[in-house]
Structure 1
Amino acid sequence: MGEEAIRENWVKNVERVLSELSREFNVEAAIVFGSWSRSGGGDWSDVDLLIVSNSVSELSILDRFSLTSEFRKWRVDVFLYTLKELENMVNKENPIALSALVEGIPLIMNREVEKLRRKAISTYKRTGRVWIKIT
């Protein structure tokens, strides 16, 4: 499969996931991160997709995992958090949150998540596989 066809395929899969999630929740942010945002991924690579939705605050982590596991059929790994959870992850230097916010490709982003993104970009940088606080 050519590079353009691979890209079109992951875009189509992410659109499917966003469509499904938007039926259930208010998606406040959607960010592609990981290998697809850093180097373009490849035929072998799943798409990592961070979703921010305060609508999921009442769902347990296990319920969220169960909900998002259905998207594995499209090779999309969905990470579903509330804004508060994402803020806490940034404050604890969580690599998933930092990778998504600093290096990710925003598809949807409200003001609050954009503000958190700017904070992460100005505070952290990746050195190899480690995130370093720069301020």
Structure 2
Amino acid sequence: MSAPAPLPAAFAEIVDDFQALGGRDRLQLLLEFSEGLPALPERYAEHPELLEPVPECQSPIFLVTEVEGTGREATAHLFFSAPPEAPTTRGFAGILAEGLEGLTVGEVLDVPADVTEQLGLAEVVSPLRLRGMAGMLGRIKRQLAERAGA
């Protein structure tokens, strides 16, 4: 059995930032990611039906991916819609957006499913909310694999 792939640099940096903090500060950093979530491009803002819901999340969140190219070397792009009144969910989306945007599809597909646990948020966020972030990552991987033919 081979070792899991290392985290992509941008995502590893985010994990390091979270692990360097105590619980209360981790929650504050999560809120900062919620504020940094990029707005939807007009092509999706005007057509929300193109986004996929993530029912594992307690708050309404929708996402869609795009790829440039084909296969595992294609470039991944991620877009999220989450209401401002759902800062935890927006924070998770912000982490995924910052950590995965612009990577190759292969790099995203190789991100371990337990990466959400590596952030060390279990002490400040409910397991139900963490399952929502895992649900987002699972949908992102599935969409990218389908779109890139990977």
Q: Same fold (TM over 0.5)?
A: no
Higher percent of residues as strand: 1
Q: Give the TM-score, by structure 1 length.
A: 0.28
Relative contact order, higher structure (CA 8 A, sep 6+): 2
